[in-house]
Amino acid sequence: MPFGERLRQFAQKPAREKLRIVRRKMAETDWYWKIHSPGADRTTYIIGLFGTGRLYIYELMLRHIGERAKYLTTTIRVHRGPTSMIYSAHATLKYVSREQALPAVTHRILEAVRARFADLIFVYRHPLDSLITNWVFWRTYVRTGTGGAVVAQIYETTDDVCADLEKNFAEFESFAAGDPAFFAGLRGPRFLSFQEFVEETELHLQSASLTLRLEDFTVSPTREFSRIANVMSVDLNLNGSHISPPRTRPYRYLELKAKVPRFRSFIARLDTETQRRIEAFGYSVS
């Protein structure tokens, strides 16, 4: 694609998407290493599967961890020893997935964690909420090529979400099944099926240094963020401000379940192992 066309497309993207692209490109060209020394703290990895609130944690860290924030980047590198770097990214442990670091990379991170010169902090939320979020994101991307779309940007009310889900339920089921046809016309692997997403969550919860439920940040964001600061051994930089809760509404899936019969049936038909895993995370599917 000609440079001018790429520039035009970039200029049309939302500000949040532009910031994400710029930071990713900086990281890919070693910008952080050219400006800053790597430091000698324990390397921190903030990992979340797609649609779980990792970006919310990233933004909190930019605001509230003081000098260490200069080492924060939205990419992943693995080092042979400790550094001050903070990597924030999506990553899987078993399945290859679109827009998520490969399992081989994540397993190298876990080797660093076991060697005690890195920490992996895993962020998660109710998988059914993530499923709705990811469906909205990826259907928007497939249709328009625009990333960064969240439910609140696309729909004015929950009734609007329900109406669209009811109207396009076959498409939703295709996405939830991990059907490659959902991404027809796009290069690269498909996204995780819902069952794979839940299994990946279980694997991360079994191996992370610290696990964080996004829903807990809606109740006590300062307490939950303090857990991150404790693991990293940094002082919170609140500057008289407070830690903001997530903008995402928790347990939105319950409203959709109540209003969309086919979505309610989809949940009831989940296989036994997937239901068991979700309940083991401390969530309900009923």
Q: What is the 3-state secondary structure (H, E, C) of the chain?
A: CCHHHHHHHHHHCCHHHHHHHHHHHHHHCCHHHHHCCCCCCCEEEEEECCCCCHHHHHHHHHHHCHHHHHHEECCCCCCCCCCCCEEEECECCCCCCCCCECHHHHHHHHHHHHCCCEEEEEEECCHHHHHHHHHHHHHHHHHHCCCCCCHHHHCCCHHHHHHHHHHCHHHHHHHHCCCHHHHCCCCCCCCCCHHHHHHHHHHHHHHCCEEEEHHHHHHCHHHHHHHHHHHHCCCCCCCCCCCCCCCCCCCHHHHHHHHCHHHHHHHHCCCHHHHHHHHHCCCCCC
pLDDT surpasses 90 at 122: yes
Average pLDDT over residues 87-98: 97
Classify burial at 278, counting beta carbons within 10 Å of its beta carbon; exposed 0-12, middle 13-18, buried 19 or more. Answer: buried
Identify the CA nearest to 205 among candidates 279, 150, 128.
Answer: 279
Ranked by mean pLDDT, the top range of 21-25, 77-81, 172-176 is 172-176
Mean pLDDT score of the chain: 88
Q: Are 90 and 20 in contact (CB under 8 A)?
A: no
Residue 16, pLDDT score: 59
Bridge partners (DSSP) listed for residue 120: 45
Order of strands, sheet of 86-89, starting from the edge strand that comes earlier in the sequence: 72-73, 86-89, 43-48, 118-124, 210-213
Q: In whole angstroms, what is the distance from residue 286 CA to residue 264 CA?
A: 9
Residue 127, pLDDT score: 98
Using a pLDDT cut of 70, give the percent of the chain over it.
86
Domain annotation for the chain: domains and CATH numbers: 14-126+195-232 (3.40.50), 127-192+247-280 (no CATH)
Q: Which region holds residue 2: left if phi is over 0, alpha if psi is between -120 and 50, else beta?
A: beta
pLDDT surpasses 60 at 285: yes
Q: In whole angstroms, what is the distance from residue 197 CA to residue 175 CA?
A: 12
pLDDT surpasses 50 at 256: yes
* Residue 124 main-chain phi, psi, to 5 deg: -145, 165
pLDDT surpasses 70 at 85: yes
Residue 28, pLDDT score: 46
> pLDDT, tens digit, for every residue of 194-253?
999 999 999 999 999 999 999 999 999 999 999 999 999 887 777 667 889 998 889 999
pLDDT surpasses 70 at 273: yes
Residue 148, pLDDT score: 67
pLDDT surpasses 80 at 19: no
Residue 2, pLDDT score: 59
What's the pLDDT band for 43 if we cut at 50, 70, 90?
very high
Q: In whole angstroms, what is the distance from residue 272 CA to residue 249 CA?
A: 27
Q: In whole angstroms, what is the distance from residue 82 CA to residue 71 CA?
A: 13
Residue 35, pLDDT score: 46
